Copies of this chain bind each other. A is one copy, B any other.
Amino acid sequence: MSNTFGHLFRITTFGESHGGAVGVIIDGCPPAHKIDLAKVQAFLDRRRPGQSHLASPRNEKDRVECLSGLVNGITLGTPITLVVRNEDVKKDHYSDLTEVYRPSHADYTTDLKYGVKAPSGGGRASARETIGRVAGAAVAEQILQALIPDLRVVACVDRVKDVQATISAKITRAQVDEHPLRCPDKAAQASMENLILDAQKQGDSVGGSIVCFIYNCPGGLGEPVFDKLEADLAKAMMSLPASKGFEIGSGFEGTYLYGSQHNDAFVVRDGKIRTASNRSGGIQGGISNGETISVRVGFKPVATIFKEQDSVDRSGQEQKIKPAAGRHDPCVLPRAVPMVEAMAILCVIDHFLRQKAIAHTKGVERL
C-alpha cells in the first residue's frame, strides 16, 4: 500500500471505513501559521454524507480531533495528526456480503492482492477513506491563503449522466454550495435532481463529471519532466475512488482542433505577459503560467446498486448478489466536489513548496 501523497507537503492517510477511526498525518507543514480547526471541520462537513435528500442518509458526525502538531492553533512545523472516529458503524449491513465479491468494487482485487476480504465495507476502497485527504487539504488551504491571499480552488458538478451544465468562467464556493447538487447552473439543477432521484428510486446510480478551477495560481509551479503539474493533478484525481477520466484545459475536446485554433497567443495585459485564450488550462510544458488552471474529472456511476447482479463468491462459485437497501449515495458527485478541491489544493501546496526551493537558489546568469 502507498498512503502518502506529496513530496515536501506530505499527507499520509489511514483508516478503514468501518474500523476505529480515519485520519491523516500532515508532514512538512510550514511552521508559525494559524490553523482554525473549525474551518477544517467545515471542509469535512461538505464531504460528509447525509447533507441532503440527494445523498446517503448515514449520519456520520465526523468530528475532527487534532492529536499533534498544533499549540494554541499554531503550526509547530511538526506532523499534524487529525483523527475522525467512526461512529455510525452498522456492521450487519455488510455481513451478508462478506463472501460474495460485489461487482466493480475493490473486494475481489483486495482479496487477490492482500489475501484478506475485509468485513469492513471495502476497507480503504470506501469513499470514507477520503476524509484524511480532505482534512489534510483543509489545513493546506489555510496555509495557502496566508501565503497567496488571492488563490482560490473551486470545483463544481459539471455534468450528471447526460445533463450537461454551463459553468461560467468564475465561480465561488458559496455559489456552488447554494444547492445541494453543487452545480451552480440553475438551469440544469432540476433535470440533474430528477435524474438522481429517479436512479435512487430504481436502486440504481449515476455518474458524471466535475470541473475544478485554480484561480490566481502563481506561475512557475510544476517539475518537468515527470512531475509536471498536470501529471501530478492527474495522479491526484485518478487516485480518487470511482474516477475514470481526467482532462487539463481543452482536454479531449481540444484534440479536435487545428494547432492554429488551439494555440494560446501571448499578449500583454496590465503590463503582464498573459495568454489571449486559455486552452492550455493554465499549464504549459508542465509548469503553471499564471492563468486559471482548469481540470475535469469523470466519475463512474457508483458500484453499489440495489439490484440483483451476477457475481462469484470467495470459493469461486457463481452467486447472485443483491444488497439490502442500504445507506449509499445514488450519485457521488456532490460529495466528490470537495474531494476534487482537496486533491487540487494538495498538489498546489506541494509544488509551491518545491518551487520555493528553486526560486530562492536560482543564480544570476542570463541565458
Q: Identify which of residues 1-49 in chain A touch chain B, using a CB-to-CB cut-off of 8 Å.
A: 1-5, 7-8, 10, 12-16, 19-23, 25, 27-34
**1/0 contact trace for A294-334 toward B, CB 8 Å?**
00001111111101011110001110000000000000000
Residues of B within 8 A of A227 (CB): 2, 239
In the bound complex, residues from chain B placing their C-beta under 8 Å from that of A33 are 362-363, 365
User: Is A194 part of the contact surface with B, judged by Cβ < 8 Å?
Assistant: no
Which of B101, B147, B244 is the one whose CB lies under 8 Å from A248? Answer: B244
Q: Which of A3, A122, A223 has the most CB of B within 10 A?
A: A3
Given contacts A14-B79, A227-B2, A312-B268, A353 and B362 within 8 Å (CB-CB)? no
For the complex, give the distance between the alpha carbons of A302 and B262 in Å. Answer: 9
Within 8 Å CB of A234, what residues of B?
231, 234-235, 237-238, 246
Task: Identify the closest chain B residue to A103 (Cβ).
Answer: B263
How many copies of this chain? 4
- Tell me the complex Cα distance, A91–B105, Å: 49
Contact yes or no, B356 A299, CB < 8 A: no
In the complex, the answer to whether A71 meets B367 with C-beta atoms within 8 Å is yes
Instruction: State whether the Cβ of A184 lies closer than 8 Å to any Cβ in chain B.
Output: no
Given contacts A19-B68, A316-B273, A365-B34, contact A257 B12 (CB under 8 A): no
Shortest Cβ distance from A78 into B: residue: B124
Q: A245-B255, A307-B260 are in contact. Are A287 and B106 (CB under 8 A)?
A: yes
Given contacts A231-B234, A353-B361, 12 further A-B contacts (CB under 8 A): A3-B224, A8-B354, A8-B357, A30-B362, A30-B363, A107-B285, A113-B355, A228-B239, A244-B254, A268-B318, A279-B300, A353-B358
| 5 A-B pairs (CB sep. < 8 Å) | A13-B225, A32-B365, A245-B255, A252-B298, A259-B303
